[in-house]
Chains A and B, each alone.
Chain A
Amino acid sequence: MAGKIKSLLALGAVVLTTAALAWAGADAPAQASGAPKPAITKAVKGEQCVEDIDFMRRNHMKLLNHQRDKTVIEGVRTKKHSLKECIECHASEKTGSVAAARDDFCVSCHSYAAVKIDCFECHSTKPQGPMSMHPLNAETVRYKHKLAARTTSGVSAQEMAGVAQ
């Protein structure tokens, strides 16, 4: 009798272990893919950034800091590395901003990398004028479907079209 109980217990233990393993197994793939990746939306305007994308991902802050001092102190207003021009291209079509929503261009990566930026304590996150008046909007209407296809954010093509109207 005692032997029977023992074997039952053993069986129970095996079942439990298997179940636990199975449960852990189900969770494992999610662990492997890590934290949710940032949604990097393609710039509304233009096909090519002012510098290489890889270079920009690592060094945009250096360019911006350099340009900021040249502009504020010396009054140099070249457009190439100016924050205002970044915003002109990268403002999201949905919010009209680079930092208003979680998916917007600057915020999306910066929250992923856990790097807090102060730029927008002072700088406007939006291009000049309302988004509907944005000079890029008219010329980007024909890119809409392309943008919708390439974006990894949750913004649908319909939502994007809604913003333009």
Chain B
Amino acid sequence: MSELNSMSNQAPESPERRRFVGAATAVAGLAIAPGVMLYQVAHGRPDDQSASSAVRWGMLVDSTKCASGCNDCVSACSTENGWTPVAESKHPRQAPQWIRKLELEDPLTQMETNLPMMCQHCAEPPCVDVCPTGASFKRADGIVLVNRHTCIGCRYCMMACPYKARSLVHEPLNDTQKPDVPRGMGCVEACTFCVQKVDRGDGNTACAEACAAAGHNALLFGDMNDPESGISRRLRELPTKQVRADLNLNLGVRYHGI
């Protein structure tokens, strides 16, 4: 294990090296605890392998840990994915918003609840149902995405989404996009669970990393199909809810403390 740790300190990571590390971990895993280790390796998917339905990416939001006034997850998302923060936008009312921070107050008790809201990565996504071109789709590993090559910007999906999770890009972006995150005028977009990071094998999203870095640990990202993953364990322990569970969409984002 110590050998692995020292290796993981070395940037940049080539696919060959990742495969090698994967193999090394698998061997170590077999020697110590087969099931546990092999599950973890499964996330470092080789470049040439498609996303697999054996994995379902999900997120647990612990709103009891989500701090009032903190916006770190939102800024981290905007930095990672290259969208302009709403406050800096020239047209805030139509600015893309992949994730937003909500502060709710119970009118009876004045209890405050903080939580981030973003695409819930529905297992039965209404946005996919209504899309006339097939641009809105669910990837095998449960991540709901927009294929911008086929999106015509009709915005049906924005109307269909119960969580107001999607935005349309209204203005030309003039080559300000991140190389890893193509996006452009006339297409709809939403949280991608940092698909570029997931495919790189990071196994975490920018928002969850930022939340942990700020010491709040309110966001936990992982594979909900793997019974041994951090998120699955936590979901077993904590009472959680799906927002608008009545819609029966089987959400990929679960909330605790709401």
Residues of A bordering B, CB below 8 Å: 68-70, 72-79, 84, 87, 97, 100, 120-128, 135
Contacts and interface: CB of A to CB of B under 8 A. Distances in A.
Given A73-B137, A77-B199, A84 B179 contact: yes
Find the residue from A72, A76, A97 having the highest chain B CB count within 10 A: A72
Interface in B34-56: 45, 47-51
Contacts of B48: 76, 78
Nearest to A118: B184
A127 B199 contact: no
A126 B47 contact: no
B147 A73 contact: yes
A123 B141 contact: no
Interface of B: 12, 15, 45, 47-51, 137, 139-141, 145, 147-149, 172-173, 175, 177-180, 182-185, 187, 195, 199-200
A124 B139 contact: no
Contacts of A70: 50
B175 A75 contact: no
A121 B141 CA distance: 28
Contacts of B179: 84, 87, 123-124, 126-128
B134 to A, nearest CB: 10
A8 B35 CA distance: 108
A74 to B, nearest CB: 4
Given A74-B51, A75-B50, A77-B199, A68 B178 contact: no
Contacts, number: 65
Nearest to B186: A121
A70 B185 CA distance: 23
B149 A74 contact: no
Contacts of A135: 12
7 contacts: A73-B147, A75-B51, A75-B140, A120-B175, A122-B148, A122-B182, A126-B179
A124 B182 contact: yes
A121 B185 contact: yes
B175 A126 contact: yes
A141 B198 CA distance: 34
B139 A123 contact: no
Greatest chain B CB density within 10 A among A70, A76, A84 is at A76
A68 B149 contact: yes
Given A74-B140, A122-B182, A100 B175 contact: yes
Contact of B182 (A73, A100, A123): A123
A72 B148 CA distance: 9
Nearest to A127: B179
A124 B51 contact: no
A78 B149 CA distance: 19
A123 B177 contact: yes
B50 A74 contact: yes
A72 B145 contact: yes
Nearest to A128: B179
A72 B15 contact: no
Contacts of B15: 79
B47 A124 contact: no
Contacts of B141: 75
A77 B137 CA distance: 18
A69 to B, nearest CB: 8
Given A75-B139, A76-B50, 18 more contacts: A68-B149, A70-B50, A72-B148, A72-B149, A75-B50, A79-B47, A120-B175, A121-B185, A122-B148, A123-B179, A124-B177, A124-B178, A124-B179, A124-B182, A125-B175, A127-B179, A128-B178, A128-B179
Count chain B CB atoms within 10 A of each CB in A69, A84, A122 and give the residue with the most: A122
Contacts of B12: 135
Contacts of A120: 175
